Amino acid sequence: MANNNTSSDIRFDRDRLDRCGFPEFIFGEGKSISQILEMAASILDAGQTLFATRLSHDAANALAEKFPKGEWDEVAKTFLLLTNDTEPPRGNVLVVTAGSSDIPVAREAKNTLTACGCGASILADAGVAGLHRIIEEAETLRHVDAVVVVAGMEGALPSVVGGLTGVPIIAVPTSVGYGAALGGLTAMFSMLNSCANGVTVVNVDNGFGAGCAAARIVLTKKHIPIP
């Protein structure tokens, strides 16, 4: 993190919003509750959006008690508090899941996009085991700014989506699957070897990273009318 008015092991980067287009967020895993609360206070004092991921229940309860206007998503393990002067959402990102087991990662991605100031929605349970479900959404896939595709098992869904739309695609492998899924590595290797050109792949279960990647696309995109 980078700033001044915090303890020696916390350095809040208040300039990240100007550099990157979205502020510093809090990765809650491995941090103490006191550290998380101190970071949260610094972020809000700077007038920036408070967003924390990978929170334990205890940490989330502490944030909710101190900042009751925030939103705790128990499924995604995220906490979000927008500022009063937050601008209307920009762009439209669709987060697609292969199965309902992928929802926690998908919701982390969607909440990240909201924190970054982007419009986002989820299309759930559209995996290749029922291929008609995603094919029926082909028109929708072509009229968004980016698609985040969240899938475990064999990780085939991003390739299918890549054949249905020309918009940027960020693929998120999840650790959903039986033994040979190898905790998401099988899905990740499949996505990295996708025959659909230009699919970007983030780390296993990294809905946050996918949300930030899609936000960078949306926030810097010059909107060209779709024919």
Domain end call among 81, 116, 136 = 81
Residue-wise over 129-153: b if at least 16 C-beta within 10 A, else e?
eeeeebeebeebbeebbbbbbbbbb
Residue 227 pLDDT exceeds 70: no
Tell me the average pLDDT across 154-161.
94
Tell me the average pLDDT across 136-142.
93
Residue 11 lies in a domain: no
- The CA distance from 6 to 156, in Å, is 45
Classify strands 146-151 and 90-97 as parallel, antiparallel or unpaired: parallel
Helices (H), the chain: 16-20, 33-45, 57-66, 103-115, 132-135, 138-142, 157-162, 185-192, 207-220
- The CA distance from 137 to 165, in Å, is 10
Is 120 found in the same domain as 44? Answer: no
Is 205 found in the same domain as 103? Answer: yes
Tell me the average pLDDT across 109-118.
95
Yes or no: say if 79 and 114 are a contact pair by the CB < 8 Å rule. no
Burial of 166 (0-12, 13-18, 19+ CB in 10 A): exposed
Tell me the average pLDDT across 116-139.
93
Number of domains making up the chain: 2
Residue 226 lies in a domain: no
What was the pLDDT predicted at 5?
A: 43
Is 77 found in the same domain as 60? Answer: yes
- The CA distance from 93 to 96, in Å, is 10
Is 213 found in the same domain as 105? Answer: yes
Is 206 found in the same domain as 101? Answer: yes
Residue 89 DSSP code: P
Residue 141 lies in a domain: yes
The CATH number linked to 45 is: 3.30.110
What was the pLDDT predicted at 8?
A: 56
- The CA distance from 71 to 73, in Å, is 6
What was the pLDDT predicted at 222?
A: 56
Residue 195 DSSP code: S
Burial of 182 (0-12, 13-18, 19+ CB in 10 A): middle
Domain end call among 29, 46, 81 = 81
Using one digit for the tens of pLDDT, what is the confidence trace for 33-42? 999 999 999 9
What was the pLDDT predicted at 15?
A: 78
Question: What are 72's two structure tokens?
Answer: 């705790």
The CATH number linked to 180 is: 3.40.50.1970
Question: Lowest-pLDDT range, 4-18, 67-81, 137-151, 164-178?
Answer: 4-18
Is 127 found in the same domain as 97? Answer: yes
Is 216 found in the same domain as 134? Answer: yes
Is 114 found in the same domain as 48? Answer: no
Is 170 found in the same domain as 63? Answer: no
What predicted TM-score, i.e. pTM, was given to this entire model? Answer: 0.89
- The CA distance from 205 to 223, in Å, is 30
Classify strands 200-201 and 169-173 as parallel, antiparallel or unpaired: parallel
Is 211 found in the same domain as 127? Answer: yes
Residue 157 pLDDT exceeds 90: yes
The H or E element spanning position 88 is none
More confident site: 3 or 118: 118
Most confident of 18-22, 88-92, 183-187: 183-187
Is 45 found in the same domain as 103? Answer: no
Is 210 found in the same domain as 136? Answer: yes
Question: Residue 74: which domain range?
Answer: 16-81
Domain end call among 58, 81, 104 = 81
Residue 2 lies in a domain: no
